[in-house]
Structure 1
Amino acid sequence: MTDVYVKAGLRESATFDRITINEIQRAADTGIYDIRGFGAKRRVPHFDDLLFLGASMSRYPLEGYREKCATDVTLGTRFAKRPLKLDIPVTIAGMSFGALSAQAKEALGRGASIVGTSTTTGDGGMTPEERGQSKHLVYQYLPSRYGMNPDDLRKGDAIEVVLGQGAKPGGGGMLLGQKITERVAGMRTLPVGIDQRSACRHPDWTGPDDLAIKIEELREITDWQKPIFIKIGATRTYYDVKLAVKAGADVIVLDGMQGGTAATQEVFIEHVGIPTLAAIPQAVQALQEMDMHRQVQLIVSGGIRTGADVAKAMALGADAVGIGTAALIAMGCNHPKWNQDYEAIGSAAGYYDDYHEGRCPAGISTQDPELSQRLDPVDGGRRLANYLRVLTMEAQTLARACGKSHLHNLEPEDLVALTVEAAAMARVPLAGTNWIPGQGF
């Protein structure tokens, strides 16, 4: 078809391309904005725009078969009496029961536990399946307060106060009525089958000073045992990190715009927030200026896919990373074996446009009992564990190539950028030069 357009001398507008024209027509037909799940689909500078400088003569590499490269990380060492000790620096980000099936939440807990890392509850509360299979479970405390109760909060191994999410910083999420079953409605104190919107800010939040009060309350509820995480969507990262540290956070969770969401407005997903790559150096700078880097741990999420992404995030200063979308893919989401089912809902494997409607053929982002049964939690957990092991081994391979005996020893000096934009955002030199854009020659 493209050849026909070329022969006819037709030229598509870069501004009003066919996708844009289609969206204008859809809006005109319906009078409503478009919502979807997943995260930003637009091309932004990302970890692929960075390269490692492996050891040669001026650096001494480590032999992968004989020399150790450690991967452990401890989260919450600032104030918590019982910090979270993980075997690998790859955690599972918060994804709710409601957005995901009970089977999916159980599989996440199983997979994370096999490799010694943590998973996170998400909006909507804690399920017995998730708590029962998670060795380390972080309990999210969200603006909506859906499913929140002190008993479950105390059962968590850490508490994550969510102030923002990378896909929609400044906004709340949605859960369509077809995913609000009796069980979901009961946990969230909502009517069955009615669309739900999550709040964009905490009901007792009018500014940063209130966060300090909230952290103090949570520490008293948990007898100062549990680490307190603060999750922010990447926007004004430098200032947000400083305020969170000042309020008493043990851990900062930084979510870039490539992070996913269960459902929100597409205009939000594509036009609010900044790339993960741009956010990390701002967070690290803020921590360093407060003499808190490595004392307040930094978890980075939003678009982490490979061991290379893990290693690059840590080289830029992260203590650990979080994965969400990649974990779902590892468990079977978007598998080609469901192609016929994807076509039936007007989608295809890899597009993520319709899964917020609860018709996920893989049984992951659905509450339909028949579809949910397609996911075996044991098999899903095994697949996730395999994927987490590969991420860790890939990151170790790169760290050894740079001569590092621990993933935390990676540093910005180990990186160069392929583009001017990535060099400026990551604050590392453009490959083949000593130039960091914005920092002189």
Structure 2
Amino acid sequence: MTHLDPALRESATFDRATIRDIQRAADSGIYRIRGWGAKRSLPHFDDLLFLGASVSRYPLEGYREACGTDVVIGARHGAVPLHLDIPVTIAGMSFGALSANAKEALGRGASAVGTSTTTGDGGMTPEEREHSKTLVYQYLPSRYGMNPDAIRRADAIEIVLGQGAKPGGGGMLLGQKITERVAAMRTLPVGIDQRSPSRHPDWTGPDDLTIKIAELRELTDWQKPILVKVGASRPYYDTALAVKAGADAVVLDGMQGGTAATQDVFIEHVGIPTLAAIRPAVDALQELGVHREVQLIVSGGIRSGADVAKALALGADAVSIGTAALIALGDNSPRFAEEYESLGSAAGFYEDFQDGRDPAGITTQDPELASRLDPVAGGERLANYLRVLTMEAQTIARACGKSHVLNLEPEDLVALTVEASAMARVPLAGTTWIPGRL
């Protein structure tokens, strides 16, 4: 048995992980790229609790009393809105970052429960359109795969100005994932690393967003709702400017949002937590008199029906999931434990999505690996997961006496920590105190 010298201990500033990162940087001269999302401990929905009904509030009875979950998105300017059966959507993840089978599976799973999925960078694949009952087309700074005909065939358009894992930064797609098909869709050379730009080429300020929204409305004969996605950094101002530019809905992505590939230093040190971003965005909507008219879709770290319910209670109209959807498809499955270990990782820890060697066949363009994911079975798994999220949110809403999940409100919540109380602006549990509020 090895006995450690009790006089030896790590420095809080220079712990073993930090020392390894410095040594890796010194050895290679290359900054670290990875996927997955922020790993540091951040205030999140776990720091909030619901106040279930008892004497002062009247709960709904189990599954015998109805609790609605439907949501309408994008009716503000007369477009054909999205009618979703559940308030959980699938976030944009590109064909390129994901395999074609994974994109198809996402469409199948979302359609099975009556919700939407989103294209991501690089355009729309035929499989994705065919198997997505409701498909949102992402319009990104790169314009990779941008096709006016595909935009017209989508059910809504999402103008991406930022992503939670990297607000202010563009994405990456390394050469090993740029196959002939990916390259053809993006008009790129095969096998060459690609970095997406951080802003739209025709963007010099907020006024240009108004022009861009008008152009897209003209392109689609005013029939498609226009969503604007921002990475959480200045949510009050970004939401207000998006609304004034004409957005039908705002997608707000917190820093717990995942990514297929970007700098580790970006993931961990840029942006603000999802929990801290929601209330300022709701403030902007309320002050402009458009809360619930302009929908707020929150993403970044949504894992359970409790997370869904808490986001809705804080003022969101819906949530969007990315990382959790990939896990539901089979990402990081113990089934491939030996192969993850051979890559220097382990099931549940694999994060090198940029390498294109994913044993589960989800974040790869390798034909042999990609064939491992059955899109039908993957879609069924995702649909099961989405149903569970919805039932969990309904269970909480009924316990709070609500006949619809969108009737949840901040009064139904308390916080466990001072930080969460201040960010969510709900009382510290057992008190009436909200830090910073009289």
TM-score (norm 2): 0.99
Letter in 2 for 1:205: W
Which residue of 2 is the match for residue 152 of structure 1? 150
Which residue of 2 is the match for residue 166 of structure 1? 164
Asked if the contact 2:357/2:366 (under 8 Å) is kept, the reply is yes
Letter in 2 for 1:241: T
Give me the whole-angstrom Cα distance separating, in 2, the residues matched to 1:347 and 1:229. 37
Q: How many residues align?
A: 438
| 1:82 corresponds to which of 80, 83, 89 | 80
| 1:183 corresponds to which of 181, 184, 188 | 181
Alignment root-mean-square deviation, CA: 0.8
Asked if the contact 1:111/1:383 (under 8 Å) is kept, the reply is yes
Which residue of 2 is the match for residue 247 of structure 1? 245
Instruction: Provide the secondary structure at the position in 2 that maps to 1:333.
Output: coil
Letter in 1 for 2:295: Q
After superposition, the C-alpha distances for 1:48-87 in whole angstroms (9 at most, x for unaligned) are 0000000000000001221000000000010142000000
Which residue of 2 is the match for residue 369 of structure 1? 367
Give me the whole-angstrom Cα distance separating, in 2, the residues matched to 1:348 and 1:270. 21
Which residue of 2 is the match for residue 59 of structure 1? 57
Instruction: Provide the secondary structure at the position in 2 that maps to 1:42.
Output: coil
Give me the whole-angstrom Cα distance separating, in 2, the residues matched to 1:76 and 1:32. 43
Q: CA deviation at 1:33?
A: 0.5
Instruction: Provide the secondary structure at the position in 2 that maps to 1:38.
Output: coil
Instruction: Provide the secondary structure at the position in 1 that maps to 2:311.
Output: helix
Give me the whole-angstrom Cα distance separating, in 2, the residues matched to 1:392 and 1:181. 37
| 2:29 corresponds to which of 28, 31, 38 | 31
Asked if the contact 1:165/1:255 (under 8 Å) is kept, the reply is yes
Give me the whole-angstrom Cα distance separating, in 2, the residues matched to 1:317 and 1:429. 16
Give me the whole-angstrom Cα distance separating, in 2, the residues matched to 1:352 and 1:37. 9
Which residue of 2 is the match for residue 357 of structure 1? 355
Which residue of 2 is the match for residue 213 of structure 1? 211
Give me the whole-angstrom Cα distance separating, in 2, the residues matched to 1:206 and 1:147. 23
Which residue of 2 is the match for residue 4 of structure 1? 3
Instruction: Provide the secondary structure at the position in 1 that maps to 2:278.
Output: helix
Which residue of 1 is the match for residue 141 of structure 2? 143
Give me the whole-angstrom Cα distance separating, in 1, the residues matched to 2:385 and 2:63. 21
Q: CA deviation at 1:113?
A: 0.3
Instruction: Provide the secondary structure at the position in 1 that maps to 2:401.
Output: coil
Give me the whole-angstrom Cα distance separating, in 1, the residues matched to 2:232 and 2:336. 34
Give me the whole-angstrom Cα distance separating, in 1, the residues matched to 2:321 and 2:114. 15
After superposition, the C-alpha distances for 1:87-106 in whole angstroms (9 at most, x for unaligned) are 00000000000000000000
Which residue of 1 is the match for residue 329 of structure 2? 331
Q: CA deviation at 1:347?
A: 1.1
Asked if the contact 1:330/1:384 (under 8 Å) is kept, the reply is yes
Asked if the contact 1:80/1:250 (under 8 Å) is kept, the reply is no
Asked if the contact 2:340/2:350 (under 8 Å) is kept, the reply is no
The residue correspondences of 1:417-432 to structure 2 (distance < 5 A) are 417-432=415-430
The residue correspondences of 1:281-320 to structure 2 (distance < 5 A) are 281-320=279-318
Instruction: Provide the secondary structure at the position in 2 that maps to 1:413.
Output: helix
Q: CA deviation at 1:356?
A: 1.5
Give me the whole-angstrom Cα distance separating, in 1, the residues matched to 2:329 and 2:155. 24
Instruction: Provide the secondary structure at the position in 1 that maps to 2:227.
Output: strand
After superposition, the C-alpha distances for 1:137-187 in whole angstroms (9 at most, x for unaligned) are 000000000000100000110000000000000000100100000000000
Give me the whole-angstrom Cα distance separating, in 2, the residues matched to 1:344 and 1:173. 27
Give me the whole-angstrom Cα distance separating, in 2, the residues matched to 1:4 and 1:306. 42
Instruction: Provide the secondary structure at the position in 2 that maps to 1:229.
Output: strand
Aligned structure 1 segments of 4 or more residues deviating by more than 6 angstroms: none
The residue correspondences of 1:7-18 to structure 2 (distance < 5 A) are 7-18=5-16
After superposition, the C-alpha distances for 1:293-337 in whole angstroms (9 at most, x for unaligned) are 000000000000000000000000000000000000001001101
Which deviates the most, 347-356 or 288-297?
347-356
Which ranges of structure 1 fall in alignment gaps of 5 or more residues?
none
Instruction: Provide the secondary structure at the position in 2 that maps to 1:171.
Output: coil
Q: CA deviation at 1:423?
A: 0.3
Letter in 2 for 1:423: S
Which residue of 2 is the match for residue 41 of structure 1? 39
Letter in 1 for 2:232: A
Give me the whole-angstrom Cα distance separating, in 1, the residues matched to 2:103 and 2:28. 35
Instruction: Provide the secondary structure at the position in 2 that maps to 1:298.
Output: strand
Q: CA deviation at 1:38?
A: 1.1
Matched residues, percent identical?
Answer: 80
Give me the whole-angstrom Cα distance separating, in 2, the residues matched to 1:4 and 1:13. 20
Q: CA deviation at 1:8?
A: 3.5
Letter in 1 for 2:53: A
Q: CA deviation at 1:348?
A: 1.1
Asked if the contact 1:36/1:266 (under 8 Å) is kept, the reply is yes
Which deviates the most, 8-17 or 220-229?
8-17
Q: CA deviation at 1:353?
A: 2.7
After superposition, the C-alpha distances for 1:366-386 in whole angstroms (9 at most, x for unaligned) are 000000000000000000000
Asked if the contact 1:345/1:354 (under 8 Å) is kept, the reply is no
Instruction: Provide the secondary structure at the position in 2 that maps to 1:285.
Output: helix
Letter in 2 for 1:190: L
| 2:193 corresponds to which of 171, 186, 195 | 195
Give me the whole-angstrom Cα distance separating, in 2, the residues matched to 1:80 and 1:47. 34
Which ranges of structure 2 fall in alignment gaps of 5 or more residues?
none
After superposition, the C-alpha distances for 1:375-401 in whole angstroms (9 at most, x for unaligned) are 000000000000000000000000000
After superposition, the C-alpha distances for 1:381-433 in whole angstroms (9 at most, x for unaligned) are 00000000000000000000000000000000000000000000011000000
Give me the whole-angstrom Cα distance separating, in 1, the residues matched to 2:109 and 2:272. 30
Q: CA deviation at 1:221?
A: 0.5
Give me the whole-angstrom Cα distance separating, in 1, the residues matched to 2:400 and 2:98. 39
The residue correspondences of 1:390-409 to structure 2 (distance < 5 A) are 390-409=388-407
After superposition, the C-alpha distances for 1:85-141 in whole angstroms (9 at most, x for unaligned) are 000000000000000000000000000000000000000000000000000000000
The residue correspondences of 1:383-394 to structure 2 (distance < 5 A) are 383-394=381-392
Instruction: Provide the secondary structure at the position in 1 that maps to 2:3.
Output: helix
Which residue of 1 is the match for residue 105 of structure 2? 107
Instruction: Provide the secondary structure at the position in 2 that maps to 1:4.
Output: coil
TM-score (norm 1): 0.98
Letter in 1 for 2:126: P
Instruction: Provide the secondary structure at the position in 1 that maps to 2:320.
Output: strand
